[in-house]
Structure 1
């Protein structure tokens, strides 16, 4: 894997909107500004908002090539050391034919986002580039009142240092669902609930493998396209999966997951780590879905961790694509074995 160079205080971060353009909408621009201010005050970073990133939902939906243009320009900009997405969405696959992946290979930089950004992550993974499934500007950087310490520490530990990452714990607390995005609520902190740590819901033993995965709904949208990875990409992997804020019904999720089983993905991976469903909705039902489908294909041996702190949760961690990790069911530990960054 091609790993980008770590960032440091004083570096410039590019802001892009590759999916939804809501960061530029009148109702949310205050939150965009709050997230940008946190880049400066919390991390000592400079930022460069790319030309089309704040042109709003209507414009960016109509012109997917402009979203890609921002990304391509950021890749070639020598001042830019990392690229962060404003938010996810539903149709970022429309920008893919305009992405200059060869330029990105020649100029690797930190690229971070989650949810619909799964599409870009998996495309870059197939070209051998490590990217980062993690915080976005409007959600995590712009959290009401202050950023979560867990999120801050994850960013510092994975993106600001080239040391081996080590053990990844779950967050001690989780934010109650309901992003308070109306400006009138900007000074109201969302409730923190105690978190319970990892659950081992399937399998035994200790396994290692490279990290690959993303948002289940986004993966479902990619199936049948050239952007969905070849089956071989999952061989000996630790697959990470999480569900979106739309709270996909367990019966629908079961069909999604069974499709992966039919494709043969679960036959060749070494382990799986599943993100906590947002606000704990369908918590037990989702756990049962994975156990049921794995039993159907005789993979009760496959180690599966549940309730991980990534994806549609705040606070959230960062998962680097293609990097070697380990699941130890005996000690309930998830460890990233190498550096996530150069």
Structure 2
């Protein structure tokens, strides 16, 4: 059985940086996010790692792990939202105390998705792939990002529905953030490899493919054992987003997952929009998706609201989901069962 945390009203948010911390010249955006969240009734508790950054990490692996472990066992902390992602979260995995982790939400994406997936695979506790803390600093939330609160407040046994965004952001303009931080200028269009309506059901698992494929072959990437222990071998509906990979990098990572058995009883695959996916000798992202459809015999939906091209849905690792895509629009229903 999957264990679903629940975010109560006025929750205390623990902010720790298991990957990258925030350099001094950007401390103001964390403080802006804090102010906005406090206005909404949340309380915040900061770890020391949030405020430091040196050599591609917030602190040593031991200090990052110790701070995370402490917040996960602190009865006063209701959920954890890191400031953002980074590069070297993987260093912390061997120091995490999975036996003592309490049922509380962890919300984030990018490098943090490695932590999310690992926690769910190791413990059966659901985790939330969605916005990071600094993207909550706007005067308001766009409709897609705003769903993080409703999703995390859903009771165990309940369901929550999200829809594809109307518009997405093509380019960052850090100097001139909009009232909801993002500049949503492009029309969102979810696509399928068949060009037809697609409906897929299964247990959601996934994250940033750049990092989570490195879990293959480690004790932290044992998908088969997770399926036996926690979801009665139900099919998995994978979601991925590509931060920096070329198309051939992406394909190699997906082949690695396939050879490791991650796609056994896979019901389908979702891919987020990407500013990467650089073609290699004419081999495009669409070619990768088409190859997957043919090789695995499963439907693929791509350019969904997930990852580094905002806004993004809040997708719950471990939740049972039905994802529908037709005529460029999408709908995601998640059941906390």
TM-score normalised by structure 2 residue count? 0.85
SS in 1 for 2:112: helix
Is the Cα contact below 8 Å between 1:7 and 1:82 reproduced in 2?
Answer: no
Q: CA deviation at 1:59?
A: 9.4
- Return the alpha-carbon distance in structure 2 between the equivalents of residues 190 and 97 of structure 1: 35
Q: Which residue of 1 aligns with 2:33?
A: 35
SS in 2 for 1:118: helix
Aligned pairs for 1:121-140 within 5 A: 121-126=116-121, 127-138=123-134, 140=135
Q: Which residue of 1 aligns with 2:142?
A: 148
Q: Which residue of 2 aligns with 1:199?
A: 191
CA RMSD, 1 decimal: 2.8
Is the Cα contact below 8 Å between 1:87 and 1:113 reproduced in 2?
Answer: yes
Count of residues in Structure 1 that have an aligned counterpart in Structure 2: 322
Q: CA deviation at 1:209?
A: 1.0
Runs of 4+ in 1 over 6 A off after TM superposition: 279-282
Is residue 2:109 matched to residue 1:98?
Answer: no
Aligned pairs for 1:263-282 within 5 A: 263-278=260-275
Q: 1:334 to 1:238 in 2, by over 3 A?
A: farther
Gaps of 5+ in 2: 228-232
- Return the alpha-carbon distance in structure 2 between the equivalents of residues 278 and 266 of structure 1: 25
- Return the alpha-carbon distance in structure 1 between the equivalents of residues 56 and 114 of structure 2: 21
Q: CA deviation at 1:287?
A: 2.3
> Please, which of 86, 103, 120 is the counterpart of residue 108 of structure 1?
103
Q: CA deviation at 1:17?
A: 0.2
Gaps of 5+ in 1: none
Is residue 2:5 matched to residue 1:4?
Answer: yes
Is the Cα contact below 8 Å between 2:241 and 2:307 reproduced in 1?
Answer: yes
Structure 1 or 2: more helix by fraction: 1
SS in 2 for 1:273: strand
Q: CA deviation at 1:314?
A: 1.8
Q: 1:270 to 1:262 in 2, by over 3 A?
A: same
- Return the alpha-carbon distance in structure 2 between the equivalents of residues 330 and 197 of structure 1: 10
SS in 2 for 1:136: coil
Q: Which residue of 1 aligns with 2:230?
A: none
Is the Cα contact below 8 Å between 1:2 and 1:129 reproduced in 2?
Answer: yes
